[in-house]
Structure 1
Amino acid sequence: MSLRRIRLVNVCLLAAVIVFANSLVGGARASAWPEFPIPQGRSIQILKSGGLFRVYRVYRPRGLAGAAPLVVMLHGGFGNGAQAQRDYHWNATADAAGFVVAYPDGVLRAWNAGTCCGTPENFNVNDVAFLTNLVATIIRRTPIDPTRVYVTGMSNGAMMALRLGCQTTTFAAVAAVAGTLLTDCSGAHPTSVLQIHGTADAQVPYNGGPGAARQLNGLPRVDGPAIPSVNALWRSVDGCGAPTTDTSGVLTVETAVCPDDRHVQLISVAGAGHQWPGGQAKPLLERLIGLSPPSTALDATDTIWEFFAQHHL
């Protein structure tokens, strides 16, 4: 089956789910729905936000005691929550460290991160409202420490995570993998930020400017600032000192210490492309859309959690 036909099938399935959800609740507001505790293990949830029924997955490890941290994991363009849950092994890290993970779905597999991407950008879908509502809903339905709520994302999801850092005060720390900043950030509050980016990323170039796009597979052309300049912006927002730099093999880590125990960090992976380092390799998909296999120089998931665990509101 062609990629075009696969995408059409996915769109039709999503439309059917939305119509079915509307028929169940008769268009009732989300606040009118009964809210039950989120079960342990994996679950699929639906939240009405901005007139749309939005799907999200939650992984709540068994045996959590007390209020746990929450990580919101945002998939990349053409991905979804189920794919992010499979490919980035956050559930295993959550089991080991004791936190809850949410995997929301973007509208038609994308997020409105500002000047990207796809349908959410074209129709100005309010993903900032949806994701802040999602966090509030999870906090109402399961014991979560509101001072330890974090957001991370891959590619278009990373761009959305950075937008949330700029335009909300919900998250104690933000981590972006293979994404850049494509929205206004003039009103940002100080927030700890980690960026992980390959220096050979063709889709979201490390040095900024328009990325590669293929008409065949419909990848959006991202045109944003250089990754180091985004990091410098956050150092300015946070009032940080000058960063220290450490290079080991293909990894260069720049870390700035900031007031109130915040940090702004950039991990550059020399020679790495558009990928989640340490994620699940998918040779067929990588060939179809021209991506390189994930770097094994670091495990992005564990690295991000180590960064998150240092910070709270």
Structure 2
Amino acid sequence: MRSTRRILGAALSLAAILTAGSAGVAGAATRAAPSASAATDGCSLAPTAGTVTRTVGRRSYRVNVPAGLSGPRVPLLLSLHGAGSTGAQDELFTGWTPFAASHPFIVAYPQARGVSFSGLWDPYTPVSTDVADLKAMAADIAAQWCVDPQRIHVDGWSNGAVMSQRVACDGADTFASVTSYAGGTPSLAGLAAPCSPSRPIAVGLIAGQFDFTYGGLAQNTDEWTGINDCAATPARSTDAFGTSELYTCAGGVRVLSRVVGLTSHNWPSGARGEDQRSRMWAFFEAHPRP
């Protein structure tokens, strides 16, 4: 799995990553019944009427608070869409909303900068304003609902996956752990802003077997195991949907490097998609912010 193939040249990597998002339309949200649960400090656990749109400054995001949450506080997941896509499409593709209802937690789908039907994250420049904006969205949700500040996680797909890693680099004071599906290194092998998180932070790196990003998975993994001062030898496992390497690192965190078999750049569907969500969520649950 840790092949000798290295990430494509910087220009090709950047161009490839930015081809991310696929077209799609959001499904209609289901209206949820009011919840009787609420924390005692004034925040709410009342459900939203399906997935609703909120605005912070000049940025928008979609958020779904499922019915039946119990406190005092619950986890929050921010899921970041691919390039040229939207939060609504990401909700449809990833399947996080029904998954959140059954586990349960709050899930939000931030919209990248750009026109209303398309967006692009900036994970490469120093002090990316997207990191501050994602922190502001998390704070806006926490100001309304009862969010556990130690369990705010970020998942990303393609360009959003690179952004999730930038969040780990620059936002470890707010975000607990991140996963990256079909992305690549935000530092571009030293050609973009460096990655220097304020603490060891758990990062899950996942790529499809037939995806162009698979060629850079080994280098991406090497980068994060170095950043987190991980053991040289991982625990390796194979299952019905792929192969995994799990590294034990400083501060009690882990780095996951995983290849999903028989799939490419799009988010896995069916049983593979359910397996991916379950694995990502188990990774998040194992790594709250210290």
TM-score range, shorter chain: 0.7 to 0.9
125 and 239 in structure 1: CA distance in 2 versus 1, 3 angstrom threshold:
closer
Q: What's the RMSD between the two structures over aligned residues?
A: 2.3
Residue in structure 2 matched with residue 146 of structure 1 by the alignment:
149
Mapping of residues 1-313 of structure 1, within 5 Å: 40-41=47-48, 42-48=51-57, 53-66=58-71, 67-108=73-114, 109-114=119-124, 126-169=129-172, 170-183=174-187, 184-188=193-197, 189-202=199-212, 205-207=213-215, 226-241=216-231, 242-248=233-239, 251-278=242-269, 296=272, 299-313=275-289
Q: Which residue identity is paired with 1:311?
A: H
Q: Higher mean Cα deviation, 185-194 or 160-169?
A: 185-194
Q: 1:138 to 1:277 in 2, by over 3 A?
A: same
CA contact (8 A) 2:196 2:227 kept: no
Aligned length: 232
8 Å CA contact 2:177–2:288 kept in 1: the answer is yes
**Deviation for aligned residue 1:259:** 3.4
Deviation at 1:71, TM superposition (A): 0.3
**Structure 2: which 5+ residue stretches go unaligned?**
1-42, 188-192
1:186 CA displacement: 3.6
Cα distance between partner residues in 2 of 1:193 and 1:167: 13
Q: How big is the shift at 1:74? A: 0.3
Distance 1:166 1:185 in 2: 8
8 Å Cα contact 1:278/1:301 also seen in 2: no
What does the per-residue CA deviation read over 1:159-209, in whole Å, with 9 as the maximum and x for residues that have no partner? 10001101112211110000001233442231111111013213xx322xx
Equivalent-residue separation in structure 2 for 1:261 and 1:92 (angstroms): 30
Amino acid paired to 1:237: I
Letter of the structure 1 residue corresponding to residue 166 of structure 2 = R
Contact 2:166 2:195 in 1 (8 A): no
User: 1:186, 1:297 → 2: CA distance?
Assistant: 29
> CA 1:228–1:144 in 2, change beyond 3 Å: closer, same or farther?
same
CA distance in 2, matches of 1:125, 1:231: 22
**Higher Rg of the two aligned structures:** 1
SS in structure 1 of the partner of residue 272 of structure 2: coil
Q: Identity of aligned pairs, percent?
A: 31
* Preserved contact between residue 181 and residue 230 of structure 1 (Cα < 8 Å): yes
| SS of 1:206 mapped into structure 2 | helix
Unaligned runs of 5+ in 1: 1-35, 116-120, 208-225, 280-294
CA distance in structure 1 between the partners assigned to 2:274 and 2:234 by the alignment: 21
Q: TM-score, normalised by structure 1?
A: 0.68
Secondary structure of 1:101's partner?
strand
* 1:37 Cα offset (Å): 6.2
8 Å CA contact 1:61, 1:99 repeated in 2 = yes
Change (3 A) 1:147 1:250: closer
The alpha-carbon deviation at position 298 of structure 1 amounts to 6.2
Whichever residue aligns with residue 123 of structure 2, its letter is A
